[in-house]
Structure 1
């Protein structure tokens, strides 16, 4: 839609004669005209890219020879900007074409995902259940059978509950408790630090 002349093509198509034609025919004619416009724009962009690259090569030669002026250097920056705009337009065309192909044809991942999902759904679908010894595949009867089954299960009261046997708790004896409660002396700290190997990681105090 940002291509020059796109709006004019659409307006001319709308205001043209032949209102008795169907919408499908009008859209088909509009598509052909837009395709022609897009092809013309691509050929013009290719010619512009060639001209810009030739000018850039000429200015680059003058820069290498240290004979380029300030105006030529500014023109070189503008040419790079124009070339970047043309490249962005081409990238947008490629992305849009990819989206169209994906929406129409899909990709391998989506096809594989939907095939696996369909296979999973078919394998896990409950076709029917035996009701009173007779196989019944009516959907409403299947739902009612499941409802009655789980209603009876949850309605049944559990008379006896299992008794949990607590695990034995191991405690320290009095001697070990006194050792754990006593204060730590500086000699013990010094001995512990000196006995550390050189490969031990340093603590918060960088020791």
Structure 2
């Protein structure tokens, strides 16, 4: 709830309470997942009026997020391999890895958009074909070819629904969820709850509630920029006698270049569903296509070691 922390204040001002519930119908959050509640100014009444808004706030580009179900799509791995083999960038290693992931992201999004149109069309065709065959089965026995066709259509429908359920589990982050659980309403409720809890509808800027996305983002930028300002221009040196120091051999180990095995072990020790950065690719994607990325990571860590020395 924005606009205020409480909705009621007693005449003496010593009792505060909050009434921020709105009666809605079933399926409300599925249709308006970005709905927000705003407490308006209190004028004649001792209660703040509550405004329910379903107008989405446009905070700009939606961040890219990789879903594990994409790895099971026919042709996806071949697409990534083809794109990586045709990528070329002449520049610093860190910039090359950044540009490569960005280029992959743009091409994958375009491919997924076309694949979704194709898959949705085939899904509808096969679903209608199942209904048509079942109507025929009520009139006459189906032939072997028709029975096999129905089984193939059902298998395709179940596979598409399974991938959708994988996406729902990944969105809800329900690590306790059992494979094959068909309680999709549970996952959608968790997803909508996560969206509602993580969404920022506005901020109090200079004592005034502000819901303008541009001003909200500027306030966040200014706040965190001030957190990282160096408070001291010159810090005193640390001078201590008889400190324990590393030997030359130990010091040389610290500055040795990272090996490919060390980099791979560090990546394989990470959870696959987590994204290492704002690019949206998780470690499962990197592990799956490690042959396409190991050279980029090795160059990146090599340049990092050279800069550090």
Q: Shorter-chain-normalised TM-score: which range?
A: 0.3 to 0.5
TM-score (norm. length: structure 2):
0.30
| Structure ranking higher on relative contact order (CA contacts 8 Å, 6+ apart) | 2
Higher Rg of the two aligned structures = 1
- Structure that is richer in helix per residue: 1
